[in-house]
């Protein structure tokens, strides 16, 4: 907006009109739309086009969920689902199911952003989504009452995709305009969740969730978050040291913008410096948190203390959130693993999901190496995989299974891909003479 004085408008330096005009200019400038740090400018046609591509998922909401219009909107909260797309959509719309049989009525997000950038509207932005749980921000508890919830398909300890950030930037811009919000009003679930006293904290505390601590504000077109946690500063909550390092660096440091988030990411594997609670937050002992021990044995979080003891949880144990224990227990022991709604390629293989030594056998009978996979959520349910393998070594008339694998040709760790049948372990093949032409042999890289 340009503000110009007419050439015929004259006043002296001492004129009484000067303070009046200055005041008017200040008012005009304060009421102009703000151009925030890092925020891209999208033409209205782009935003209209983006909005038209949002997929309405409202009809899938659990009929048990009761819609309620929020009376005010002060915040936008971003989450990571710790699941793949299909399971994320099912959980946020239909509800969660716990091992003890308890269920929730759904409505756990207003929007879901898929790995490819597709946006799903679970609930209209005006409705209260049950997404924040036990939460507090700036003295206000039950943040679900005053916020829009956005769920990213992904994990809290791995980067989100460029497509997700592109869609998030436009969605956040639309929501900020709709509710008159600023960049600082956009927070992660890990920033606003809090926990009750436990063995690590004698008082209410931050750190109940690690959700979306990897959210890169800069890539989402946002400026810095708050330079401090208002509830910690006011003494209402005890700080979580790890989250304080992520979001509120030491005095004198630059406020967190998100572009350093990946330097503080932790693995989902337990080590001396990365204990269970650092990975899972207060969900460390939840029934939906599963610990996969070296060797394949599994324990639900609520059974670790009585069955093993937290101090005896071995280094190298993998931590999985939002899981069904029985399913993980079986699949963790299998050499040939199966991708499902909750057990993604990343759950099975960790960061090795895109390694050349991870082999995928798709339902179509196509075979892909991990290095050919652009993202773990691109693989369909039912895809089988083996981790840490080399091959294929093709069986021919002159090259038998024994000639390829030696004495281990019948071992369960030797995997055969039989055309039209998929991968089969060596100990499950009754007659090697019947193996068809084109059968490939895969051997462990460590063997």
- 137 and 193 part of one domain: yes
What the block records as the tokens of 256 is 């967190």
- 368 and 235 part of one domain: no
Model pLDDT, residue 260? 42
Residue 17 lies in a domain: no
Residue 292 lies in a domain: no
Q: Quick one: the chain helix, strand, coil %, rounded to 5?
A: 30, 20, 50
- 249 and 348 part of one domain: no
Quote the CA–CA distance of 419 and 29 in Å, as a whole number.
Answer: 70
- 369 and 428 part of one domain: no
Cβ atoms of 258 and 272 within 8 Å: the answer is no
Residue range 260-289, pLDDT digits in tens: 443 344 578 888 888 888 888 888 888 888
Mean pLDDT of 314-318: 88
Q: Which domain holds residue 211?
A: 44-263
- 400 and 356 part of one domain: no
pLDDT at 89 over 90: yes
Regarding predicted confidence, which is higher, 386 or 31? 386
Model pLDDT, residue 40? 52
> Among the three residues 242, 263, 284, which one is the final residue of a domain in this structure?
263
User: Rounded to two decimals, what is the model's pTM?
Assistant: 0.76
- 85 and 188 part of one domain: yes
Regarding predicted confidence, which is higher, 288 or 107? 107
Question: Which of 41-50, 90-99, 143-152 is least confident?
Answer: 41-50
Residue 1 lies in a domain: no
Mean pLDDT of 214-224: 95
Residue 218 lies in a domain: yes
Mean pLDDT of 302-322: 86
- For the ranges 96-110, 190-204, 252-266, 339-353, the one whose mean pLDDT is highest: 190-204
Cβ atoms of 412 and 436 within 8 Å: the answer is no
> Among the three residues 263, 290, 314, which one is the final residue of a domain in this structure?
263
Residue range 396-415, pLDDT digits in tens: 988 999 999 999 999 999 99
Quote the CA–CA distance of 235 and 244 in Å, as a whole number.
Answer: 15
- 359 and 437 part of one domain: no
Residue 25 lies in a domain: no
- Arithmetic mean of pLDDT over the chain: 85
Q: How far is CA 45 from CA 33, 51, 93, 197, in A?
A: 18, 10, 30, 50
* Domain count across the chain: 3
Residue range 118-160, pLDDT digits in tens: 999 999 999 999 999 999 999 999 999 999 999 999 999 889 9
Cβ atoms of 7 and 153 within 8 Å: the answer is no
Question: Which of 41-45, 190-194, 382-386 is least confident?
Answer: 41-45
What the block records as the tokens of 122 is 């679970």
Residue 73 lies in a domain: yes
């Amino acid at each position: 907006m340009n503000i110009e004085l007419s050439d015929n408008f004259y006043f002296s330096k001492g004129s009484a009109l000067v303070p009046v005009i200055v005041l008017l200019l200040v008012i005009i400038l304060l009421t102009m739309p703000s151009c925030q740090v890092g925020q891209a400018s999208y033409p209205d046609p782009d935003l209209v086009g983006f909005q038209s591509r949002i997929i309405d998922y409202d009809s899938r909401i659990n009929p048990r969920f009761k819609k309620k219009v929020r009376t005010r909107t002060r915040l936008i909260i971003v989450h990571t689902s710790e699941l793949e797309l299909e399971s994320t959509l099912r959980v946020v719309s239909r509800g969660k199911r716990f091992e003890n049989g308890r269920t929730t009525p759904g409505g756990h997000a207003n929007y879901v952003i898929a790995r490819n950038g597709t946006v799903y509207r679970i609930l209209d932005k005006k409705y209260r989504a049950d997404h924040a749980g036990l939460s507090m921000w700036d003295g206000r508890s039950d943040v679900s009452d005053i916020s829009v919830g956005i769920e990213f398909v992904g994990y809290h300890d791995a980067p989100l995709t460029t497509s997700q950030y592109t869609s998030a930037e436009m969605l956040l811009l639309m929501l900020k305009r709709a509710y008159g919000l600023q960049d600082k009003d956009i927070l992660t679930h890990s920033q606003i969740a809090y926990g009750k006293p436990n063995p690590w904290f004698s008082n209410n505390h931050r750190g109940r969730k690690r959700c979306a601590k990897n959210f890169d504000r800069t890539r989402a077109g946002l400026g810095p978050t708050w330079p401090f946690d208002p509830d910690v500063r006011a003494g209402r909550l005890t700080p979580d040291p790890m989250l304080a390092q992520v979001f509120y660096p030491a005095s004198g440091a630059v406020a967190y913008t998100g572009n350093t988030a990946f330097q503080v990411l932790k693995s989902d594997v337990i080590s001396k410096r990365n204990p269970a609670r650092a990975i899972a937050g207060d969900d460390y002992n939840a029934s939906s948190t599963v610990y996969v021990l070296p060797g394949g044995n599994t324990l639900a979080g609520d059974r670790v203390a009585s069955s093993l003891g937290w101090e005896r949880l071995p280094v190298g144990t993998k931590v999985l959130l939002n899981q069904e224990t029985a399913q993980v227990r079986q699949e963790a022991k299998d050499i040939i693993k199966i991708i499902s709604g909750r057990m993604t390629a990343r759950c099975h293989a960790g960061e090795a999901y895109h390694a050349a030594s991870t082999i995928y056998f798709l339902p179509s009978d196509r075979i892909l190496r991990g290095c050919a996979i652009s993202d773990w959520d691109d693989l369909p349910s039912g895809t089988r995989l083996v981790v840490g393998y080399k091959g294929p070594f093709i069986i021919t008339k002159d090259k038998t299974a024994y000639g390829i694998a030696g004495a281990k040709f019948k071992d369960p760790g030797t995997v055969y891909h039989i055309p039209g049948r998929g991968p089969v372990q060596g100990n499950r093949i009754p007659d090697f003479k019947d193996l068809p032409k084109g059968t490939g042999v895969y051997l462990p890289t460590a063997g």
